Amino acid sequence: MLFIVDWIVLEGEERSVKEEVAVPYGLIFTDKEKDSWITGGLSLQERMLRTLQKAGITEVLRLGSDAEAIIQYLASHQAPVLCLTSTILIDYRLIEDILAFPLRQGEAVMAVASTPESPPAPASDSSIPLLLLCSASLVPLLVEALRQGAKTFAACLAYIQERSTIQVLPLQGKWGHPITDAASIQQAEEWLFNSLVKETDSPVTKMINRKISLRVSRLLVPTGITPNQITLLCLLIGLGGAALLTIPHQGARVTGALLFLLSTILDGCDGEIARLKFLESRYGGWLDLLCDNLIHIALFMGIGLGLYREYQEGLYIALGGIATIGVIASVFIVSYGVLRRKKGAGPLFISVVEEREAPKLKPFFRFLAKVADLLGRRDFSYILVLLTLLGKVEWFLWAGALGTNLYFLLLLSIYSWGRVVSLSSVADRE
């Protein structure tokens, strides 16, 4: 039986595939026994479908008994075909890269990964075929392979490789993970969680925050808790910490600082679960941006109010207000950029300037964008804990009043004079 799945979740979502490249059909080789196995909170088949969707493929065919109908359907549309198996987890970025290859009639390209025991080697027994991008004219060979008794995805690709010319791309690094048994499921989940660590994470985030948040995310993935619910929980924890900072007592201040630190660590869980279960959304990005900065505003105002209550000096209220102005101004400028230039319903990208836009900046402003990315992280939560322990929380308030406004000016200079063609969001979804 032929299954055609229209897999469009967000209407109007920006496609990650270049427009000049014909978007192919996805052809999944399924395994009735393993398709329902759960890894990272999703079945193998559902994870593959969502991976294809994220890479820009909207129509997926599952190879069944009515093979002739599939051949006729694909031939009539003359679009490339991306062949995968649900029993190999694939990084969606690999699919995006493969889709960029222009194919002529009768051509194909196959990505393979090496086993841990050997380096990448095309067409060797030690390599694992991950996916095949081919023209529709080669699909009959795949069907013929099944009729000749090929039992696995690798056997099907070996069959077609013997009878046609295929460009083999050996890959370095972990781009996919095969699922063969229960032990491989555990290894696959480890691979999935390790892939959640972002290149833009600061050293502190990688060494401390991410290690803790990933452990928490592992516990939350099997539950029905959503990323947005985690975001709101972090908001409550952060606001609770800010409330304690209004109390002119060191014990309360230290506890408040620790709660703020806890909220920043747990804030990583919403993004981790969203990426792991393909729940990223534009709304979630906005909610995260709003909640993070509500916490920042409450934090500075709470510290200012606490110091005022202790010393009866209006200067501290003023410093809290100045820091708040800097936070609001920074949020406004990046939100304005997103509202004007970021279209579609997809998730917000997490950077001052998107990677593809960075080359359009002047070299100096490209450097400033990297600095702004680092400053936009919330590693200052550790500094707040240290200063409250030392009884010097007023130093943090002074630094906040100055730093938030300098950060706004830094963003303003990048967006105004750096010649950025397109802005992105700095929504800090960890």
- Give the residue extent of every domain in the chain: 3-178, 197-417
CATH number at 3-178: 3.90.550.10
Comparing C-alpha atoms, which of 121, 136, 128 is closest to residue 158?
128
**Does the pLDDT value for residue 93 go beyond 50?**
yes
Local confidence band at 248 (pLDDT 50, 70, 90 cut-offs): very high
Sheet containing 108-114: give its strands across.
Answer: 3-6, 59-62, 25-29, 81-85, 127-134, 108-114, 166-171
In three-state secondary structure terms, 3 is: strand
Mean pLDDT on 210-234 = 95
Q: Are 262 and 323 in contact (CB under 8 A)?
A: no
Local confidence band at 12 (pLDDT 50, 70, 90 cut-offs): very low
Local confidence band at 356 (pLDDT 50, 70, 90 cut-offs): low
**Does the pLDDT value for residue 427 go beyond 70?**
no
**Does the pLDDT value for residue 28 go beyond 90?**
no
Q: What is the reported pLDDT for 363?
A: 74
Q: What is the reported pLDDT for 99?
A: 86
**Does the pLDDT value for residue 295 go beyond 70?**
yes
Q: Are 400 and 323 in contact (CB under 8 A)?
A: yes
Comparing C-alpha atoms, which of 304, 293, 321 is closest to residue 234?
293
- Highest mean pLDDT among 19-28, 188-197, 213-222 belongs to 213-222
Q: Are 108 and 64 in contact (CB under 8 A)?
A: no
Element spanning 62, H or E:
strand 59-62
Local confidence band at 143 (pLDDT 50, 70, 90 cut-offs): confident
**Does the pLDDT value for residue 267 go beyond 60?**
yes
pLDDT mean across residues, the chain: 81
d(CA 304, CA 246): 8
Q: What is the reported pLDDT for 337?
A: 60
Q: What is the reported pLDDT for 352?
A: 64
Q: Are 192 and 89 in contact (CB under 8 A)?
A: yes
Mean pLDDT on 106-135 = 68
Q: What is the reported pLDDT for 283?
A: 85
Element spanning 282, H or E:
helix 282-311
Mean pLDDT on 101-127 = 64
Q: What is the reported pLDDT for 23?
A: 65
Q: What is the reported pLDDT for 136?
A: 83
Angle between helices 393-417 and 363-376 (to 10 degrees): 150
Local confidence band at 310 (pLDDT 50, 70, 90 cut-offs): very high
Radius of gyration over every alpha carbon of the chain, rounded to an integer in angstroms: 25
**Does the pLDDT value for residue 321 go beyond 90?**
yes
Per the model's pLDDT, the better-predicted residue between 165 and 119 turns out to be 165
Q: What is the reported pLDDT for 398?
A: 97
**Does the pLDDT value for residue 1 go beyond 50?**
no
CA 369 distance to own-chain centroid: 20
Q: Token pair 């972990």 is at which residue?
A: 174
Mean pLDDT on 158-185 = 84
Local confidence band at 281 (pLDDT 50, 70, 90 cut-offs): confident
In three-state secondary structure terms, 111 is: strand
Q: What is the reported pLDDT for 225?
A: 94
Comparing C-alpha atoms, which of 406, 419, 274 is closest to residue 353?
419
Q: Are 147 and 199 in contact (CB under 8 A)?
A: no
CATH number at 197-417: 1.20.120.1760
What percentage of the chain reaches a pLDDT higher than 90?
Answer: 37
Q: What is the reported pLDDT for 397?
A: 97
Please tell me the pTM assigned to this model.
0.83
Q: Are 217 and 273 in contact (CB under 8 A)?
A: yes
Q: What is the reported pLDDT for 399?
A: 95
